[in-house]
Each structure stands twice: as structure tokens, then as C-alpha cells.
Amino acid sequence: MPILTLANQITLLRMGLAPLLVVLVLEREMGWALGVFVLAGLSDLLDGLVARLSEQRTTLGAMLDPVADKILLTSCFIALTWGPDLRVPLPVWLTVVTLSRDAIIIISVAVVNLAQGRRMFYPSRLGKLTTASQLVTVGVVLLLNAGGWVLAPVRYLFLATVALTVTSALHYVYLASTGRTGVAPA
């Protein structure tokens, strides 16, 4: 089986959409940024579907998919926090917590791999829920900025996302410290 399967190529496309999305936010083209974000989300669904249907699941794909998600989310969080003239920016505290969680997870995995040998860490349900919450948060903020709306209740979405983010960081640290590698991939 080729390394660069169609599913892997779709994942690489998603990675390439992240810089475009950042440029669109910085250029205040929020409608286009929202469209690129939706396209990236659809590519995430499509790459998994293509891999399953064509029976072309690869180790490379299993590694690239979460990296593509992180690149997209990290880019969006930074651009939507510090981008110019945003009606509804992401709060700095939410972005700092989100980026810190990712750093904690990466460091924890590296330490476990160095201390105990190579281990595969699969995303937990809580981790998947956190990623979904972060994606919804980015989507809502893009939508609000594209429409020129300001909604006070969006603050509750930020609070729920930060609570999930902190909880999942603690969960991953717990899994790493007990030698568990998470749940099998879904």
C-alpha cells in the first residue's frame, strides 16, 4: 500500500488550509475564513471515511490526522485571539490554556517514551470531546465575526471549553503517569 494514500493526501490538504485560514483572519476576510474552516472540517471527516472505506488505514495517517487537527486549531486559536479588529476575539486565557494543554500532552508522551520505550497514546473520549469543543468554539467565533454579531452567552462556551481542556490535560497526565496509553482507536 502506498504511503501517501488518498486519505493521507486529504489530511495534508487540511494542514495546508491552516495558513490560508490565518491569512484570511488577519486580512479580516471572516466569511472566507469561515468557509475554509468548514472545508477543513469536512476534509477531516472525509479522510477518515476514505481510509475506512478503501481499507487504507496507515500508521502515517494515524499520526498525521491529530497533527493536522492541532495545526489547524493552534493556528485558529492564535489568529482569533490576536487578530486585528475582531468583534468577538477568543480570550487570551482560553488560548493560553489550550496551547499549554497541548504542550503538556506532548511533553508527557515524550517523557514516557524516553523512560519506558515507545508507546502509542490513543485519544481518549475526553480528549475527543475536548477537541470537538475547541472546534465548535472556533467555528462559533468565526461565524460571529463573519456575521458581525456579538453574543454575550458565547462566554459560557469559552468557560465550558476551558473546563474540558483542563480536565482532559489532567486525564492525559494521569494516563501517562500510570503507564496507560489511552483507549484503542475508535
Q: What is the pLDDT along the chain (186 residues), one digit of tens a residue?
A: 677 888 889 999 999 999 999 999 999 999 999 999 999 999 988 988 888 888 888 878 888 888 899 999 999 999 999 999 999 999 999 999 999 998 887 887 777 778 777 776 677 899 889 999 999 999 999 999 999 998 889 999 999 999 999 999 898 878 777 766 554 333
pLDDT given for residue 135 in this prediction? 94
The structural domains of the chain, ordered by start, are: 6-177 (1.20.120.1760)
Question: 47, 11 in Cβ contact below 8 A?
Answer: yes
**Enclosing H/E stretch for 77:** helix 59-82
- 125 contact partners, CB below 8 Å, separation of at least 6: 183
Extended strands (E) in the chain = none
Question: 179, 112 in Cβ contact below 8 A?
Answer: yes
pLDDT given for residue 156 in this prediction? 97
What residue has cell string 500510570? 178
Residue type, 25: V
pLDDT given for residue 100 in this prediction? 94
CA-nearest of 94, 170, 177, 102 to 136 is 94
**CA-only gyration radius of the chain, Å:** 17
Give the N- to C-terminal CA distance of the chain in Å, as an integer.
22
